Homo-oligomer: A and B are copies of this chain.
């Protein structure tokens, strides 16, 4: 099979990791209410689209890590999800 010529997935503000294929971004917030608002909205989005990222958070930040499905390469669907997460976070910062 020929090597893929698909350009690597890239999303503004997100770090792209290769092994394993992941998109990750830390969002800082001023207050816990903002952090929680973001997490609540992200939970709704996760249920709506069926993508449950790895989350790490405390009072004033949340780090979101989106993994490729089925141990494959990152797809445009993950990039789209990451952009949706950017839009959510922008509401709370």
A→B interface (CB under 8 Å): 32, 36, 39, 43, 46-47, 52-59
Contact = CB atoms under 8 A, between A and B. Distances in A.
A53 B35 CA distance: 13
**How many subunits of this chain does the assembly comprise?**
2
B59 A57 contact: no
Given A32-B46, A36-B43, A55 B57 contact: yes
3 closest Cβ contacts across the A-B interface?
Answer: A52-B59, A56-B56, A54-B58
A80 B57 CA distance: 22
Contacts of A57: 54-55
15 contacts: A32-B46, A32-B47, A32-B52, A36-B43, A39-B39, A52-B58, A53-B58, A54-B56, A54-B57, A54-B58, A55-B55, A55-B56, A55-B57, A55-B58, A56-B56
Nearest to A53: B58
Contacts of A36: 43
